[in-house]
Amino acid sequence: MAAAMDLPGSIVLEASDRVGGRAPGSPNLMMFVGTPEQQERHIVDSVAAAVEDWPILTGAEASAATRAFLEESAAVRDRLVDLGLRFDLVTHDPVLRRDRMHATAVGLDSTLFAGLPEDVEVRLQTRATGLLVEDHAVVGVQTDDGAIPAATVVIASGGFVNRPDLVARFTSWAPGTWAVGDDPGAWGDAVDWADAWSLGLAYTDAIGAAADAVGVAGEDGQAVRRVVGGPPPWILVDASGRRFIDETQYWTVTLAGQVHAHAPVWAVTSDVELRDVVDPDLWARVLAGCTCADDWTTLSEAIGVDPEGLLGTLAEIADYSSTRPDPFGRSAVSLPAFTGRPCALPPGLLANKNFGGLDVDPDGRVLDTDGQVVGGLWAVGEAAGMGVPGMGGLWGFDGALSAVVWSGWRTAAAIRAEQGR
């Protein structure tokens, strides 16, 4: 929809019965740099500071595409505000442990829909099933209702994290330690088309993950997934025994980053508290996947975590209160009390967004497997790794939806320039 806003006369195909793809079911978190909200809250930030922080946030240096996004993010915010979008502000960054501008966009899908020109046609429940290709150029798309000729095709159906076969293909995550979602979209159409028409793929192993799955092998090889209705009964620690995240912030990609950079990561809990949130029919299987011990020192040694670090973490948690809050922002009452036998298990990864996808040039033109431009074909959003594959580093960043919108507007401008309008 962001691209179609600036391309009058477009046809927007939406597979579901409402516009927005994955956006209506996501937290709609956006990241901005250099905004009035930051100035009002005395948040010191800049493009240069964000570029410096990028390796900490994503595991890789900022690319040219990343810099372009950061430089233009304030303009993205301004245009969205002019369209009437309202933001609920979240400023604390769980990785940097200081304030950075994050904002939850309230009504993003309806705002973009309202901004479409009158001559843009939206076809709901119409899924593009393939490309029409002639002489190495795309000339339209195929749908269940027939072919649609088009001189320009923009792919925006690029998420693949609902597909266990593709997650397994692109990552080295061990069987039984991860699961996929079931939200609308993210069915991997762009990857299937890449295989069928020799389109390039890049950074497909850069996948963000949430920490709301129990990492115990299920019958289908995926993790037994139990989304906790309340606060998770565990803390997440790395090999040093220290926490690195507010475990209740389930949408963060930080966990995937820690797994990439500091494996192993363990969910530390007690058997009593863990059992309270696990389906009784699954308890025996979950317990079998745990490592438990009679005391914390013995458990630390069994899982390869520094005992002194873990004991120090537990002592700090016991001391948190309204006057000495958790530095990660988790409420003291939501932290586990560790009332039972000490246990630990590998946290299950719930794949939630991909930061790689179709290989594109800086303007969004799709490249083939030889790096050549495919005529008439463009990709935006998650189809192109949130804009350009690799801009999110190895595991991505929180607030990437602003990059999705940015990529739509950027690509529409390039299409207009190419068409001389």
Position with higher pLDDT, 346 vs 145: 145
To the nearest 10°, report the CA torsion of 158, 249, 314, 289.
-40
Quick one: tokens of 9? Answer: 């006369």
Q: Among the listed ranges 225-239, 286-300, 322-336, which one has the minimum average pLDDT value?
A: 225-239
Query: Taking residues 312-339, what's their average pLDDT?
Result: 90
Give the confidence band of 90 by pLDDT, cuts at 50, 70, 90.
confident
The string of DSSP letters for 380-398 reads: -GGGBTTTSTTTTTTT--T
**By the 8 A CB rule, do 193 and 155 touch?**
yes
Which position has the higher pLDDT, 210 or 188?
Answer: 188
Token pair recorded at residue 275: 């059992």
The amino acid present at 240, given as its one-letter code, is: S
**pLDDT the model gives residue 51:** 94
Domains of the chain as residue ranges with CATH: 2-161+353-419 (3.50.50.60), 208-350 (3.90.700.10)
Q: Rounded to an integer, what distance in angstroms lies between the CA atom of residue 241 and that of residue 72?
A: 39
For the chain, give the longest Cα–Cα distance.
72
> Residue type at 416?
R
Contact 382, 211 (CB under 8 A): no
DSSP symbols for 31-68: E-SS-HHHHHTT----HHHHHHHHHHHHSS---HHHHH
**The pLDDT of residue 226 is above 80:** no
Output the pTM of the full model: 0.88
Residue type, position 304, single letter: G
Check whether 216 has a pLDDT greater than 90.
no
**Percentage of the chain lying above the pLDDT 90 cut:** 56
User: Binning pLDDT at 50, 70 and 90, where does residue 38 land?
Assistant: confident
Is the pLDDT at 250 greater than 80, yes or no? Answer: no
pLDDT tens by residue, 141-162: 999 999 999 999 999 987 899 8
Residue 321: the pLDDT is 85
First to last CA, the chain: 19
Instruction: With cut-offs at 50, 70 and 90, classify the pLDDT of residue 182.
Output: confident
Tokens coding 352? 């939630």
